[in-house]
Amino acid sequence: MQGELKIISGTANKSLAIEVAKNLKIKLTPVDIHKFSDGEIYVRILESVRGSDVYIVQPTSPDANLNLMELLITIDALKRSSPQRITAVIPYFGYARQDKKIVAREPITAKLVAKMIESAGVHRVMTFELHVPQVQGFFDIPSDNLDLIPIYAEHILNKKLKDLVFVAPDVGGAARARHLARVLHAPIAIVDKRRPKPGIAKVENVIGDVKNKTVIIIDDIIDTAGTITEAVSILKKHGAKDIYVLATHPVLSGPAIKRLQKSPIKEILVTNTIEIPKKKMIKKIKVISIAPLLSETIKRQHEGTPMGVVYDKLYEKVKKRTHRKPPNVVRKTGGFQA
Ligand code: R5P
């Protein structure tokens, strides 16, 4: 057991931090965060955290750089206030897509960001659905990358959909689609997407059968929505019936909302790892809260009890509803088996 449990919220997603603190029956630790007129950020923790077990909730959602900088400065303010342990809860870890060098003279920014967070002085990191689970390896401190698959499975079961097929909108997302499909005993298909330039998605083919099927496209991020809407077009051309989208992080930048609005998608399920501004909340977007799972994870982390039993229960619940043997490839946390 660590010192007193404290939750601090950055400005990126305060409503999530409030929900978590409420579940844990504590108040958010007050903090003063403001910007000087030149854009520099100032952070001061407004009560003692000496000897405490502190969790800072701050996704690096848009504006990514501003929110990242605020996270770093908050960690520094904390480090100088003598807590026993600092955990950065980064529900959306931006820059995770820059995880490798593809052409000459490129950076590996996901690694740089991990190093910056670590150097600022955190002891531990919590993330949700990293773009690829191996980004965890960029941290040399313990990290938990939480899996939302059993929660998604419950939501899909509630919809009582027939003739389902799970679709990965690109080859990189195949493991994620296969994982959910195995839990719900459904087939998968893969869209063959290419990126001629960063931010531009082009699709050429569909691998698998989607004709007259109810399709659920699963992805980690909807950023400009190019990937999803291009996938929807080609899936429709291949005879898909109703199309649903499931994506963890609603970045929703640039033309995303216009594209999603125009696209023949029945429903878009996202989570609150990123808070969606009111003006972007169109009717077909439904938000699932990660707060219950995050609160339980923080509680167990604080008490030093394992998380595996929570996942066992979640998967057991899904298994009872599907009346089938659970797949033997299910992982507790940290990503999917390919
Ligand atoms: C790509 O590999 C990711 O998994 C997402 O599909 C992608 O980043 C989404 O970006 P956009 O919405 O801009 O196409």
Q: Is 224 in the pocket of ligand 1 (CB under 6 A)?
A: yes
Report the distance separating Cα 94 and Cα 111, nearest Å.
11
Give the residues across from 270 on adjacent strands. 287
Q: Is 168 in the pocket of ligand 1 (CB under 6 A)?
A: no
User: In the CATH hierarchy, which top-level class contains the domain 149-287?
Assistant: alpha beta
| Positions of the chain with pLDDT under 50 | 332, 337-338
Q: Is 67 in the pocket of ligand 1 (CB under 6 A)?
A: no
Atom of ligand 1 nearest to the CA of 220: 4
Instruction: Count other Cβ atoms within 10 Å, centred on residue 102.
Output: 7
Q: Atom 10 (ligand 1): residue with closest C-alpha?
A: 223
Residue 26 CA, ligand 1 centroid: distance in Å: 36
pLDDT at residue number 200: 76
- CATH of span 5-146: 3.40.50.2020
**Contact between residue 322 and residue 186 where contact means Cβ atoms under 8 Å apart:** no
pLDDT at residue number 191: 96
Residue 251 CA, ligand 1 centroid: distance in Å: 10
Atom of ligand 1 nearest to the CA of 222: 12
pLDDT at residue number 2: 76
- In the block, which residue shows the tokens 């959306």? 92
pLDDT at residue number 180: 96
10 Å CB burial of residue 199 (0-12, 13-18, 19+) is exposed
Residue 97 CA, ligand 1 centroid: distance in Å: 9
pLDDT at residue number 338: 43
3-state secondary structure of 95: coil
Residue 104 CA, ligand 1 centroid: distance in Å: 22
Report, as residue numbers or ranges, the catalytic residues: 193
**Contact between residue 50 and residue 80 where contact means Cβ atoms under 8 Å apart:** no
Q: pLDDT of 63-88, one tens digit each?
A: 999 999 999 999 999 999 999 999 99
What residue ranges of the chain are covered by domains with CATH 3.40.50.2020? 5-146, 149-287
